[in-house]
Amino acid sequence: MSENKTESELLEQPVEQIADAEPVVEEAIATVEPETQENTELSPDVTEIKTDKDTKVASKDKKRTTIGGQALIEGIMMCGPKRTAIAVRKADGSIYIEEMKQSDRVSYFEKVPFIRGCIKFYKMLVTGTDATMKSADISEQGKEDEEGKKESKLDSFLGRHRNVMLTLSAILGLALSIGLFILFPRLIVDLVSKLFDENMLDVLWVQLVRNIIEGVLRIIIFLTYLILVSKMPDIKRVWQYHGAEHKTIACYEAREALTVENIMKQSRFHPRCGTAFMFIVLMISILIYTIAGVFVGDNNMLINIGLRLVLIPVICGISYEILRFVGRHCDRGICKILVKPGLWLQRFTTKEPDPKICEVAIAAMQAVIPENDNDDNW
């Protein structure tokens, strides 16, 4: 590296040029000031570069952080206690960073156990949909054939009504998930039950068996879905970003400097992953629907469908609290066993990332780490 280059000249280079410039800056990723929320890239908008020399390690003990993330199209979203940011690799090779608007106001219900899980889940669904849509657009920026390209009428309409489209997309995604994983298995059980005598269906043990079969079908459908989706080439790339997200959080929790080398050696399986949450939801649904079926009865198809819809918030709330508890004590007792199914499922939803993908994960992580080390304790 030439010693007479100024810091501003270095910051205007793409990430890979900065990384190749000098070994000590290989892991350098820019952070964004909270006020910068629009069109922030690795350019003059960057306020500083953090290296391992700047990383303050308060203790060698591992920590558990509330920081979580989501894989995007050629990028990652990280959600911290005070900031949410996305980092996306553009077509020209540079990394785009944007801090997403996040309300500082926390409602009373977001602190109430068994209620907060539903609220947090819906908020994450809307934010994740917004981030995914943005990443799809940003990842295409920098292509040579983009010059002179006119915006379509559909893109113009979506831009003007973004909030409405985000809400509709989140609701549609939630409806499809409920239909496929909750209602469809019950529909199969009810249709097969019509082949048997109605008096036999009133027997308690038969009701229990029907609900257990429904739960097994739900798990089979979920596993089949994950396996089929993981075979898609485009999704494999997303799973690599998912793996990088987990590795980066694990590196941060191990209190190691956020460098590509340190991140690559971490495990891509994490006990507090959304995949683990989905598995917990499936298992809790078997228990809740079985108990409800015993008290309410489960011979009427419409009652069964209505009952499952009404109980979804209950299942979601219980599952969230279990995930929090297991995540806090995942290395001891029964919790060590409870995390294993979720970790196993991540074999389908995560892949080993390459160094370039880890650079994007570092950028997203650096943008949301709180100034106070205790602010993000799990």
More confident residue, 156 or 251: 251
Question: Tell me, what's the pLDDT at 321?
Answer: 92
Report the percent of the chain where pLDDT is more than 90. Answer: 37
Task: Provide the β-strand partners of residue 75.
Answer: 72, 88
CA–CA separation, 9 and 14 (whole Å): 11
- Residue found by looking up tokens 């409870």 in the block: 338
Higher pLDDT, 6 or 282: 282
**Residues 282, 224: contact at Cβ < 8 Å?**
no
For the segment 349-360, the average pLDDT, to the nearest whole number, is 96
First-to-final CA distance of the chain? 41
Percent of the chain with pLDDT over 70: 78
Using pLDDT thresholds of 50, 70 and 90, give the confidence band for residue 298: low
pTM of structure? 0.76
Residue 284: name the closest of 245, 259, 321 by CA: 321
326-341 mean pLDDT: 86
The phi and psi torsions of 33 (rounded to 5 degrees) equal -70, 145
pLDDT number for residue 344: 92
pLDDT digits (tens, 9 = 90+) for 266-282: 999 998 888 888 888 88
| Whether 119 contacts 105, CB under 8 Å | no
25 band by pLDDT with thresholds 50, 70 and 90: very low
Mean pLDDT for the chain? 79
Residue 7: which pLDDT band, with cuts at 50, 70 and 90? Answer: very low
Contact indicator for 85, 77 with CB cutoff of 8 Å: yes
Structure tokens at 96: 């785009």
The pLDDT value given to residue 19: 39
Q: Residue 3: its pLDDT value, please? A: 44
3-state secondary structure the chain: CCCCCCHHHHHCCCHHHHHHHCHHHCCCEEECCCCCCCCCECCCCCCEEECCCCCCCCCCCCCCECCEEEEECCEEEEECCCCEEEEEECCCCCEEEEEECCCCCCCHHHHCCCCHHHHHHHHHHHHHHHHHHHHHHHCCCCCHHHCCCCCCHHHHHHHHCHHHHHHHHHHHHHHHHHHHHHHHHHHHHHHHHCCCCHHHHCCHHHHHHHHHHHHHHHHHHHHHHHHHHHCCHHHHHHHHHHHHHHHHHHHHHCCCCCCHHHHHCCCCCCCCCHHHHHHHHHHHHHHHHHHHHHHHCCCCHHHHHHHHHHHHHHHHHHHHHHHHHHHHCCCCCCHHHHCHHHHHHHHHHCCCCCHHHHHHHHHHHHCCCCCCCCCCEC
Predicted confidence (pLDDT) per residue in 91-149, tens digit: 999 999 999 887 667 788 888 999 998 998 888 888 898 899 899 989 988 776 555 55
More confident residue, 176 or 378: 176
Cβ atoms within 10 Å of 207's Cβ, excluding its own: 17
- CB–CB of 46/280 below 8 Å? no
Task: Pick the more confident residue, 198 or 211.
Answer: 211
Residue 336, pLDDT > 60, answer yes
Residue 330 pLDDT more than 90?
no
For residue 18, pLDDT beyond 80 = no
pLDDT, tens only, 222-259: 999 988 988 888 899 999 999 999 999 999 999 999 99
Q: Is the pLDDT of residue 50 over 60?
A: no
